[in-house]
Amino acid sequence: MRQNRILFTLLLLLAWPGFTFAFEPAKPNVLFIAVDDLNDWVGCLGAQGGHGQVKTPHIDALAKRGLLFSNAHCQSPLCNPSRTSLLFGRHPSSTGVYGLTPGPRSAPSLEKATSLTQAFLKDGYQTMVCGKIYHDGSILQKDRLKECAIWGPAVGMPRPAKPFTATPGKHPAMDWGPFPEDDSAQADWKTASWACERLAEKTEKPFFLGAGFRLPHVPCYASQKWFDLYPLEKLQLPAVLENDREDTPKFSWYLHWKLPEPRLSWLKQADQWKPLVRAYLASISFMDSQVGRLLEALEKSGQKENTLVVLWSDHGWHLGEKGISGKNSLWERSTRVPMIIAGPGIKPGVCAQPVQLLDLFPTLVEFCRLNKVQGLEGHSLVPLLKNPGVKWQWPAITTHNQGNHAIRSERYRYIHYADGSEELYDHCEDANEWFNLALKPEYRKILGEHRAWLPKVDLPPVPGSAHRVLTWDGKTAVWEGKAIDWKELED
């Protein structure tokens, strides 16, 4: 009888208007995994493109237990502006951060803005980062503790005594080959080890742990066993179309005018196309093994059931498509990235809606019940985490320097360059983006629909911007401080 009275009283309380419990479930931990220069060459994206031979069992396993966003895109095809956009929740066109320098706090709009790690820090989380989360050197040493409580090692990549490849310009990062012999010498191994140690520790607070892996960023080094996964004689090269750039605007060349990353023409001439692709794939598989170490450590910690795992890459990477290698373009290969969210209450599946790295900040604020952060320009993905098929009304927007923007809807990619030239690709019919439809009159309406999403705020570069910065005054394109002469175009 006493149990019945207690149950009856509880039911009355639940029915009482305005009644709430005096406690709430524990806030989830967050394991935030960043990968540098990883395009869509992961196994779980194989049905939607990618590379058919890539081996990424650990990332694939994470995707199976979470929501895989198969149409996710970066906000900039360059490290510093991409990470600044994600970590501060603003479009590059809203901040003027376009180059590799300066860091985010040099932008007037971000000087007092709340960063993602600060949002967790202010809400009582134990905040920790290691490896490459913020772009290297973008947060000054004296300001680090304002952004995050604990900073682990951000180890640089090991280098052999002599480079494997003599690329044009002889840039030290433009190299690839089997090195080092032992995986434990790799920067990503050391990053994973530090993060695994943190996962093994007990804390009274919920934690935010960011682990940033450097590979497959060049130099693409991995030990021989990872190269052995991809025999050179059986290697599949990415699909390319001869003369693919004939229907692209002249201005499209300006976005990657003079770079250390070699053109496809040089890779073919030097017989380095296959070796680069092989090294990129080997680097991916090694990096995936380090993701596996993190996920195993999370399992052993006993905290898996209350930990949200977020995996993302800062931008893609060309390996011959459109005649180039590297990033710095507004095409699919440069903007599409793996993005996975797995954890408590998230139903496994695949979401094909166009989403952005910019959306991660408001998503984590809502999912982890953080205090509201002002000025975020992305959109919370929580509705898609609950129902991946729900109607999503926003495209993904990528910017590379002032005036150059890509609008990615579910079906189309639209590109607008600073001089007004355009590209349009239908991904249902042309996933390789070989046929520019922008000049065809029957696509006038679709062009107009996509133009409507171009950023209304489009700031010039912040003072001090340098490295891969392009400006246009209506007459002259200036690349890294020097006026572009079309006659100097490299094949």
Grouping H, G, I as helix, E, B as strand and the rest as coil, residue 8 is: helix
Q: What tokens does 396 get?
A: 């993904």
Looking at 51, 135, 400, 416, which residue is catalytic?
Answer: 135
Quote the CA–CA distance of 1 and 19 in Å, as a whole number: 25
Predicted TM-score of the model (pTM): 0.94
Quote the CA–CA distance of 371 and 2 in Å, as a whole number: 41
Please measure the distance between the N-terminal and C-terminal CA atoms of the chain and give it in whole angstroms: 87
Quote the CA–CA distance of 318 and 305 in Å, as a whole number: 37
Looking at 44, 51, 73, 79, which residue is catalytic?
Answer: 79
Q: What tokens does 412 get?
A: 């189309």
434 CB-contact burial (10 Å; exposed 0-12 / middle 13-18 / buried 19+): middle
165 CB-contact burial (10 Å; exposed 0-12 / middle 13-18 / buried 19+): middle
Contact predicate 235/53, CB 8 Å: yes
DSSP string, 23-56: --PPPPEEEEEEESS--S-SGGGGGGSS-TT---
Q: Is 135 a catalytic residue?
A: yes
* The Cα angle at residue 434 between residues 429 and 436, in degrees rounded to 5: 85
Quick one: which of 359, 355, 362 has its CA closest to 409?
355
Quick one: which of 29, 31, 55 has its CA closest to 43?
55
Contact predicate 67/43, CB 8 Å: no
Contact predicate 26/306, CB 8 Å: yes
Q: Which residue has the tokens 């149950």?
A: 7
Q: What tokens does 213 get?
A: 């892996």
Contact predicate 278/235, CB 8 Å: yes
Q: What tokens does 408 get?
A: 């990615």
| Structural domains present in the chain | 26-394 (3.40.720.10)
Per-residue pLDDT of the chain (491 residues; tens, 9 = 90+): 445 554 454 444 444 443 333 334 689 999 999 999 999 999 999 877 789 999 999 999 999 999 999 999 999 999 999 999 999 999 999 999 999 999 999 999 999 999 999 999 999 999 999 999 999 999 999 999 999 999 999 999 999 999 999 999 889 999 999 999 999 999 999 999 999 999 999 888 999 999 999 999 999 999 999 999 999 999 999 999 999 999 999 999 999 999 999 999 999 999 999 999 999 999 999 999 999 999 999 999 999 999 999 999 999 999 999 999 999 999 999 999 999 999 999 999 999 999 999 999 999 999 999 999 999 999 999 999 999 989 899 999 999 999 999 999 999 999 999 999 999 999 999 999 999 999 999 999 999 999 999 999 999 999 999 999 999 999 999 999 999 998 888 66
Quote the CA–CA distance of 454 and 398 in Å, as a whole number: 10
Q: What tokens does 107 get?
A: 């932008």
